[in-house]
């Protein structure tokens, strides 16, 4: 049996606040996510979702326990190694689309490839393919203010896909969209998961959004439960 894509073993994350009481954001979490899974992590504000996002995305290290991404213990890696791991393995999608306002869609999607040192012609080819995958092959030169909210989120998803990651980590990806556009984005993530085999983890406070994933994990007060109680 192959190792999980991401594995948390006995993970806790503590934030020390000087003279104030420390905050325990995660408590003794054991969690494994395999290649090709589609998972939602759902919980209310203050539950530990943001801390979980940072650990799953190798943006932070645990205070206790181990986090392994693609078989590598992030606690043993320096900043340069972590940046390389993220760029090669993980695509990030955020509630705020984080698109460059004066920049066409295709150039926004090219950005991770610029950082990776990919040549201009290859960047453009791959960015065009990624936009076509999300149904925006006809919007390559449109700037964000010429796109709907749902289309802007699709551009952000294409940007996350352009490096061919094994994992899409989506933080409240429907939070800035109406219910119809939100359903479209979730359907797109499900389609990418099914057809391309990319693992998808959606972190959300919305129970209806969480219920669209085949596997749902709950988080409250830093404690993880599975299955999540969706009500």
Tell me, what DSSP letter sits at residue 2?
A: P
pTM of the model: 0.93
Structure confidence by residue, pLDDT tens digits, 24-77? 999 999 999 999 999 999 999 999 999 999 999 999 999 999 999 999 999 899
Q: Which domains does the chain have, with CATH numbers?
A: 6-225 (3.40.50.300)
Q: What is the mean predicted confidence (pLDDT) over 151-179?
A: 94
pLDDT band at 95 (very low <50, low <70, confident <90, very high): confident
pLDDT band at 160 (very low <50, low <70, confident <90, very high): very high
Q: What is the mean predicted confidence (pLDDT) over 145-166?
A: 95
pLDDT above 70: residue 231: no
Say what the alpha-carbon torsion angle 54, 156, 185, 219 is, to the nearest 10 degrees. 10
pLDDT above 80: residue 187: yes
Q: What is the mean predicted confidence (pLDDT) over 90-109?
A: 94
pLDDT above 80: residue 2: no
Cα 143 from Cα 120, distance rounded (Å): 19
Judge contact between 173 and 202, C-beta under 8 A: yes
What is the pLDDT, as a whole number, of residue 102?
93
The b-or-e profile of 199-216 (16+ CB within 10 A means b, else e) is bbbbbbebeebbebbebb
pLDDT above 80: residue 11: yes
């Amino acid at each position: 049996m192959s190792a999980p894509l991401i594995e948390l073993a006995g993970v806790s994350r503590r934030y020390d606040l000087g003279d104030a009481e420390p905050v325990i954001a995660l408590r003794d979490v054991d969690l494994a996510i395999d290649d090709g899974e589609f998972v939602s992590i759902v919980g209310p504000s203050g539950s530990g979702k943001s801390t979980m996002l940072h650990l799953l995305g190798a943006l932070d290290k645990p205070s206790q326990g181990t986090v392994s991404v693609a078989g590598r213990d992030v606690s043993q890696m320096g900043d340069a190694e972590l940046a390389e791991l993220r760029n090669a393995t993980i695509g990030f999608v955020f509630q705020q689309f984080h698109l460059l306002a004066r920049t066409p869609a295709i150039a926004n999607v090219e950005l991770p490839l610029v950082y990776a040192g990919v040549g201009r012609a290859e960047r453009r080819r791959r960015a065009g393919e990624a936009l076509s995958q999300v149904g925006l092959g006809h919007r390559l030169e449109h700037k964000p203010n010429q796109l709907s909210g749902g289309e802007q989120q699709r551009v952000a998803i294409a940007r996350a896909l352009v490096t061919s990651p094994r994992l899409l980590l989506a933080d409240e990806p429907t939070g800035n969209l109406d219910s119809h556009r939100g359903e479209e984005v979730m359907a797109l993530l499900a389609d990418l998961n099914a057809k391309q085999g990319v693992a998808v983890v959606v972190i959300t406070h919305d129970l209806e959004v969480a219920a669209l994933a085949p596997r749902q994990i709950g988080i409250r007060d830093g404690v993880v439960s599975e299955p999540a109680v969706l009500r």
